[in-house]
Structure formats: structure tokens, C-alpha cells
């Protein structure tokens, strides 16, 4: 049986997760990490709190977000 997780699950409970982060991440570890789960969902955690809560997204949800980032829809959040 494939384990399903809900948002807010402690990242330490995601024992199957192999966490990855962007090459553009801050060398001090301030980044977001992602992991594909056996269910096909994608988990996200904050590297500053690796045992903290994980957000779990469907592939479609994360795909919509990534395309939005690529299209510049969130640029105003990082531009000073």
C-alpha cells in the first residue's frame, strides 16, 4: 500500500524522500527542497527546518506553479 501524506506532516516522517534543492540555493542552506514520493506527489520543505512540516502537492499543482514561475508571474515577490 502506498503511503499518502497530508500537508504539515513532519518531513522526518517522509522516510522515502530523497530531498533535492536548486543549484541557485543560498550556500548557508536557506532554500526550499523537493522530493518525489511513491504516491507520485511532491513534497516540499524548508532546508532551515529539515524536520519541520512538509507541504505535499500533486504533480499538477506543482506543474502549474513551475510554469507560473517560468512565465514571471511571481517576479514581483523577489524584486526589491
Q: What is this structure's pTM?
A: 0.85
Is residue 16 assigned to a domain? yes
pLDDT in tens, the chain (80 residues): 788 888 999 999 999 999 999 888 877 767 899 999 999 999 999 988 999 999 999 999 999 999 999 999 999 998 76
For residue 2, the model assigns a pLDDT of 80
Chain position carrying cell 503511503: 3
Residues in Cβ contact with 52 at an 8 Å cutoff, skipping those fewer than 6 apart: 10, 11, 45, 46
**How many structural domains are present in the chain?**
1
Is 19 among the domain residues?
A: yes
26 occurs within a structural domain: yes
2 in a structural domain: no
Residue 23: which domain range?
A: 9-75
Amino acid at each position: 500500500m502506498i503511503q499518502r501524506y497530508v500537508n504539515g506532516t513532519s518531513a522526518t516522517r517522509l522516510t522515502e524522500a530523497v530531498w533535492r534543492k536548486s543549484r541557485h540555493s543560498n550556500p548557508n542552506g536557506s532554500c526550499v527542497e523537493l522530493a518525489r514520493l511513491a504516491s507520485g506527489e511532491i513534497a516540499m520543505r524548508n532546508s532551515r527546518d529539515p524536520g519541520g512540516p512538509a507541504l505535499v502537492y500533486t504533480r499538477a499543482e506543482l506543474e502549474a506553479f513551475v510554469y507560473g514561475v517560468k512565465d514571471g508571474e511571481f517576479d514581483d515577490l523577489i524584486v526589491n
